[in-house]
Amino acid sequence: MTGTVFPAPRTAFPGGRAEKQGEIAGMTTNNRRRVVVTGMGVIAPIGNSVDDFWKNLVAGTSGAANITYFDTAAYDTHFACELKGYKATDFLDRKGAQRMDPFSQYAQIAADQAVAASGVSAKDEDPDRFGVVFGSGIGGMTTYDTQFKNLMQGGPGRISPFFIPMLIPDIACGNISIRHGFKGPNYATVSACATASHAIGDAFRIIQYGDAEVMLCGGAEAPITPMGLGGFNAMRALSTRNDAPEKASRPFDAQRDGFVMGEGGGALLLEELEHAQKRGATIYGEIAGIGFTADAHHITAPPEGGEGAVRSMRRAIKDAGISSDDVEYVNVHGTSTPLGDISETMAIKTVFGEHAKKLSISSTKSMTGHLLGAAGAIEAIATLLAIKNGMIPPTINYEFPDPACDLDYTPNVAVKRNITYAISNTFGFGGHNATILVKKFIE
């Protein structure tokens, strides 16, 4: 799906005329439907709005602190990147919030922000032309933990009738469509930490194919639960820097010892360019290309040299119809794991060659922690904001250089830079690789 030649779409393009088979089959990057971003929404450990999120990213603010949701004394890790000052009823009505797992609350809140920012409404048009692709890597972890306790303590009669609807990952996109009346394509993506990037890519393609004019996409995750923390501790995937949580997420630093869990949601409102222009929408940037690949290697470890990531980035660059030398910024997956950071560094060197030394690179996970299925959404938003504001967010906690990680990771302090093309990488357990290539909007 990431080449520049497409098969005929399943439906006619808007305007009533069915396109000829040959015309669609010959579509290239120069004449296919352009897809722009006209709304964004964020609820994250460093900000419950897009503005606060960006302000704290540029300031290098860490979202890590001791976990407050439950007693962590028996765990190897005592900290995570929880949301700050979050109260569901500040955003949602009480009954609605009670019937949503936190991951679904975060999805709804981010989606509401994105729709409000875009100013678009399905009520004013054909709602079949508005869709939602929204994912979660895990789904309702809090709900599962709570209802399992109910089962163990009181038997099956104590299980809530809302257990299944609150648990399933696709309930987020269902709730979003119900709230906003979007009746077009609607489904969830699930690909671990690549989930939200796959949602963005699918939404991008749906608009390109002519199956919708507007797509709301993104991801949400609420993994900071007893089972979530215990499971990742059992894998030895998490940092155990309990004496200094704010220093624990340190991508590419020689003393990194694992990732830091985060929670939250991110949403992007994608729109076909002419549709956006006709209604005078604010355009934050353009989705230029996507690259999706599989490692076919190992359930958790990347292949040597990041071979799958190499193919993912190359596909996105080809899909955008540009040269690798045109890319100026990479918002990396950069989880702060010993193997992962080296693998991604090697992949970047392979894709960009000598140009890799000229790239600005940063891992915003150093501040937000790893939002798992939501990571691709908030990181795509960070990348778009970097382009819009001409500012590269830093990789904080970079203190001890690793000889195997020798690129410019924008250490500790944000840097001004004009950017036209940028990449956002996300890679998931199971060998899922997703790259989103975004660009400055130029008419």
Catalytic residue numbers read: 193, 333, 370
Rounded CA separation 337/254 (Å): 10
Per-residue exposure over 55-68, b if at least 16 CB sit within 10 Å of its own CB, e if not:
ebbbebbbbbeebe
Name the residue among 429, 20, 411, 16 with its Cα closest to residue 232: 429
- Beta-strand relationship, 186-187 and 214-221: unpaired
Name the residue among 133, 399, 413 with its Cα closest to residue 250: 399
Specify the DSSP class assigned to residue 14: T
Longest dimension (CA), the chain: 65
Specify the DSSP class assigned to residue 182: -
Rounded CA separation 9/109 (Å): 33
209 contacts: CB under 8 Å, gap ≥ 6? 6, 9, 10, 11
Contact criterion met (CB below 8 Å) for 380 and 200 = yes
Rounded CA separation 344/305 (Å): 8
Please tell me whether residue 173 adopts helix, strand or coil conformation: helix
Give the C-alpha distances (Å, rounded to integers) separating 27 from 16, 138, 290, 441: 19, 37, 16, 21
Rounded CA separation 207/290 (Å): 13
236 contacts: CB under 8 Å, gap ≥ 6? 258
- Cβ-count burial of 230 within 10 angstroms (0-12 exposed, 13-18 middle, 19+ buried)? middle
Name the residue among 425, 41, 373 with its Cα closest to residue 195: 373
What are phi and psi for residue 404, nearest 5 degrees?
-85, -10
- Cβ-count burial of 232 within 10 angstroms (0-12 exposed, 13-18 middle, 19+ buried)? buried
